[in-house]
Structure 1
Amino acid sequence: MRRPGRVRDQEVQEGIRRLCRGTPQARHGSLMADELVNLTIDGVAVSVPKGTLVIEAAKQAGVLVPHYCYHPGLPVAGLCRMCLVDIEKAPKLQIACATQVAEGMVVRTQSPQAKSGRMGVLELLLINHPLDCPICDQAGECELQDFTFQEGRPATRYSPDYAKRFNPVEDFGPDVLYVPNRCILCTRCVRFMEDVAKEPVLNVSERGDRAYIGIHSEGRLDHPWAGNVVDLCPVGSLLSKDFLHKARAWELDKAASICTGCSQGCNVTLDTRENVVVRVRPRSNLEVNRYFICDHGRMNYRWMNRGDRIEAPLVRRGRGGELHATDWDEAFDLVTSRLRGAGGKAVALVSPKASTEALYFVRELFRGL
Structure 2
Amino acid sequence: MSDIVNIIINGKEVEAIEGSVLIDYLFKENIDIPHFCYHPALGTDGNCRMCMVEIEGSKRPQISCDTPVKAGMVVRTQGENIEKVRRDILELELINHPVDCPTCDQAGECKLQDYYMEGGFYESRLEAENKNHAKKAVDLGKNVMLDQERCVLCTRCSRFTDEITHTNELGIFSRSDHSVISTFPGKELESDYSMNVVDLCPVGALTSKDFRFNQRVWFLETFEAICSGCSKGCNIYVDHKKEKYKDDQIFRFRPRENLDVNGYFICDDGRLSYKDENDKRISDAFISQEIVSTKEAVTNIANLLHTHSSDILLLVSPFLSNEELAMFKDYAKNNGAALSGYSPQYNDKTFADDMLRTSDRSPNRAGMKALGISEGKKQFEELLSQKKIVVIVENNYFEDKQDLLERKEVILLSSNDTTLVESANIVLPIASFLEKDGSYTNIDEVTQHIKSTMRKNAPAGTLISLWQEIESLSQEEA
Using structure 2 for the length normalisation, give the TM-score.
Answer: 0.63
Aligned residue among 206, 209, 215 for 1:241? 209
Higher relative contact order, structure no. (Cα contacts within 8 Å, ≥ 6 residues apart): 1
Aligned residue among 242, 256, 264 for 2:224? 256
Aligned residue among 192, 204, 207 for 1:224? 192
Does residue 354 of the first structure (1) align with residue 327 of the second (2)?
no
Cα contact 1:193–1:202 (8 A) shared by 2: yes
Cα contact 1:190–1:203 (8 A) shared by 2: yes
Does residue 280 of the first structure (1) align with residue 253 of the second (2)?
yes
Aligned residue among 73, 83, 87 for 1:115? 83
Does residue 302 of the first structure (1) align with residue 268 of the second (2)?
no
Cα contact 2:167–2:190 (8 A) shared by 1: no
1:49-128 equivalences in 2 (<5 Å): 49-128=17-96
CA distance in 1, matches of 2:38, 2:153: 12
What SS does the corresponding residue of 2:141 show, helix, strand or coil?
coil
TM superposition shift of 1:349: 3.4
Cα contact 1:259–1:266 (8 A) shared by 2: yes
CA distance in 1, matches of 2:110, 2:330: 47
CA distance in 2, matches of 1:101, 1:112: 24
Do the aligned partners of residues 359 and 79 (structure 1) sit closer, same or farther apart at CA in structure 2, a change above 3 Å counting? farther
What SS does the corresponding residue of 1:278 show, helix, strand or coil?
strand
Which structure has greater helix proportion?
2
What SS does the corresponding residue of 1:67 show, helix, strand or coil?
coil
CA distance in 2, matches of 1:129, 1:151: 15
Aligned residue among 304, 307, 311 for 1:342? 311
* Correspondence for 2:127: 159
Cα contact 1:86–1:114 (8 A) shared by 2: yes
CA distance in 2, matches of 1:364, 1:94: 62
- The worse-fitting range, judged by mean Cα deviation, of 43-52 and 288-297 is 43-52
Does residue 204 of the first structure (1) align with residue 172 of the second (2)?
yes
What SS does the corresponding residue of 1:97 show, helix, strand or coil?
helix
What SS does the corresponding residue of 2:66 show, helix, strand or coil?
coil
- The worse-fitting range, judged by mean Cα deviation, of 78-87 and 147-156 is 147-156
Q: Which runs of 5+ in 1 are unaligned?
A: 1-29
Using structure 1 for the length normalisation, give the TM-score.
Answer: 0.81
* Correspondence for 2:415: none
Any idea what the Cα deviations from partners look like across 1:180-235, whole Å, max 9, x if unmatched?
Answer: 01000000001111111121111111211111112122321131000100011000
TM superposition shift of 1:273: 2.3
TM superposition shift of 1:112: 2.0
Please give the root-mean-square deviation of Cα atoms over the aligned residues, in Å: 2.8
Letter in 2 for 1:77: D
Letter in 1 for 2:107: A
1:315-334 equivalences in 2 (<5 Å): 324-325=293-294
* Correspondence for 1:176: 144
Cα contact 1:247–1:273 (8 A) shared by 2: no
TM superposition shift of 1:74: 1.1
From the CA coordinates, give the structure whose radius of gyration is larger.
2
Do the aligned partners of residues 89 and 349 (structure 1) sit closer, same or farther apart at CA in structure 2, a change above 3 Å counting? same
Any idea what the Cα deviations from partners look like across 1:229-288, whole Å, max 9, x if unmatched?
Answer: 001100000011100110011111111111000010011011112221111100111111
What SS does the corresponding residue of 1:195 show, helix, strand or coil?
helix
Cα contact 1:205–1:213 (8 A) shared by 2: yes
Cα contact 1:45–1:61 (8 A) shared by 2: no
